[in-house]
A and B are shown apart, each in its own frame.
Chain A
Amino acid sequence: MNPDNLVQTTGEWLRATGPESDVVVSTRIRLARNHAAYPFTNRASPHQKAEIEAIVREKVAQVDSDRPLHFINISKLGQLDRQFLVERQLISRELANAEGPRAVVVDDREAVSIMVNEEDHLRLQVMRSGLALDEAWQDIDSVDDRIEQVFDYAFSDEFGYLTACPTNVGTGMRASVMLHLPALVLTKQIEKVFRALQKINLVVRGLYGEGSRASGDFYQISNQVTLGKSESAALTEIREVNRQIIEYERQARTLIIKETRQAIQDRVARALGTLQSATMMTSEETMELLSSVRLGVNVGLVTGLPITLVNELFLHTQPAHLQKLMGTQLDGEERNAARARYLRTRLKEAGPNPN
């Protein structure tokens, strides 16, 4: 499959159709798996990596699946296409920048993806809209069962699924929930919430931010422990924590509307106004303004703007997406102009109004 086919759309997971999608953007579960009869990727020769890739192309990509699976050879892609797949969260930055034979298998709804020759031979991933840990687990569990028929997993009774890094050994499972928490950030409660999380061994990471700083008020919460805790126990833990954070965020939203309605209204209206009229727009500013607009839509301060569109704009204004949409390579300045133009056009079509 050619990545160009994906440009005009977003994966279903980004469409804000799932449970709690006023706060939760998406749920993702990833499983690390390795072939029992090959050295791990970092110690495999190019020839051995090519053999792993061939098993995936000829067998794994052919397993029964609800939707057809497409095989994409990463080493044949240019830099822009690789970055494009990173922005869509179909592959990791590490896989994009690695060397040698590597690939990704993806279904056309972008719900399932399988990275090949990342740190582990296989990284299976399932994405869902909203808070949907159970559904995501059922999906990935069944994908895993089918792959197991054609790919001999490295597994020991004592240590579970064997992985290149001991931090993943056991279930090999990392479940992540991506949250949009603008009100907790505005009311400066976010630090407090995260300090509490670290005590129960969950990891918090800002989304899309290059460094440690989260941008657009997106945060990702994942489990850390993979050994000695079953998948369902880990999922229960992460579900409960997320329920709590969702509750805190909603309370904070109610509070700011009640106590500082005018200030929030002004903030949202300014954000929308800038997005509708600016002629140069950086990626960071876009994230920040869209975050305010997303909050505005969710608390009823903006009408006529579907959340799906706001989510789509977050994705489409990322550098590689923008260039693919414009059909040409753009440098930083040109990108800022193109981004502002794209935002103006899309928002004009929708015609939102601040309340």
Chain B
Amino acid sequence: MKCQKCTKAATMHITEVLPGDRFEELHLCEDCAQKVLFEVPKPLKSGSVSGEESDEFTPAKSACSSCGIKFVEFRNSGRLGCPNDYTEFRDELLPLLENIHGEIRHAGKTPRRSPKARAANGELLQLRKQLQVAVTREAYEEAARIRDRIRQLETS
């Protein structure tokens, strides 16, 4: 049997439980099955089960620039990596949030401090990541430069 989403052999057979006691059988290759299992639940579009490699899977490309997490990793663990992920993976998260909360926009308390005043936080998050990378690479001069910049931002 061939995979329903590409031309490889189907080795995974998945039964999806749909609302109203209906079931859907999927026959997929290992790779496509992984994608389906960690895909954000959404209504099946007609025509998505074609032989074409479709772009509706979350591609592996997207890793958060601040913490390095990939969306697939989030799907596996259920935990995001950093506050920036809500921006980075916004499109992927929206259907998930809708599913969990039935709403997609905050209604409630807002910090008294202006968020604009803390615009430096995004940069700090990135710098901390760079610092870690520099230290692992043993690039100590660069690490020192990054650390100075962090101090500067923290005290401003």
Q: Do the two shown chains form a genuine complex with each other?
A: yes
Q: Which residues of A are in contact with B by a Cβ distance under 8 Å? A: 34, 36-40, 42-43, 45, 48, 119, 141, 144-145, 148-149, 152-162, 164-167, 169-171, 173, 225-231, 233
Q: Which of B104, B109, B118 has the most CB of A within 10 A?
A: B109
Contact of A229 with B67 in the complex, beta carbons under 8 Å? no
Contact of B82 with A171 in the complex, beta carbons under 8 Å? no
Contact of B80 with A164 in the complex, beta carbons under 8 Å? yes
Number of A-B contacts (CB under 8 A): 125
Chain A residues closer than 8 Å to B4, beta-carbon distance: none
Number of interface residues of B (CB under 8 A): 39
Contact of A228 with B107 in the complex, beta carbons under 8 Å? yes
CB of B42 within 8 A of chain A?
Answer: no
Chain B residues closer than 8 Å to A165, beta-carbon distance: 78-80
In the A-B complex, the 8 residue pairs with the smallest Cβ-Cβ separation, listed nearest first, are: A228-B103, A160-B106, A37-B124, A154-B83, A36-B121, A227-B101, A43-B81, A39-B82
Contact of A158 with B106 in the complex, beta carbons under 8 Å? yes
Contact of B108 with A171 in the complex, beta carbons under 8 Å? yes
Q: Which residues of B are in contact with A by a Cβ distance under 8 Å? A: 66-67, 69, 77-83, 86-87, 93, 96-97, 100-113, 115, 118, 120-122, 124-125, 128-129, 132
Give CA–CA (A45, B101) in the complex, Å.
31
Q: Which of A39, A42, A170 has the most CB of B within 10 A?
A: A39
In the complex, which residue of chain B has the Cβ closest to the Cβ of A48?
Answer: B128
Chain A residues closer than 8 Å to B86, beta-carbon distance: 156, 158-159, 162, 169
Taking the closest CB of chain B, its distance from the CB of A307, in whole angstroms, is 35
Give CA–CA (A119, B105) in the complex, Å.
22
Contact of A230 with B128 in the complex, beta carbons under 8 Å? no
Q: With A36-B121, A225-B100, A228-B105 given, name 15 new contacts (CB 8 A).
A: A36-B124, A36-B125, A40-B67, A40-B80, A148-B113, A154-B83, A157-B110, A160-B109, A162-B86, A164-B80, A166-B80, A170-B107, A173-B108, A229-B103, A230-B108
In the complex, which residue of chain A has the Cβ closest to the Cβ of B106?
Answer: A160
Taking the closest CB of chain B, its distance from the CB of A131, in whole angstroms, is 22
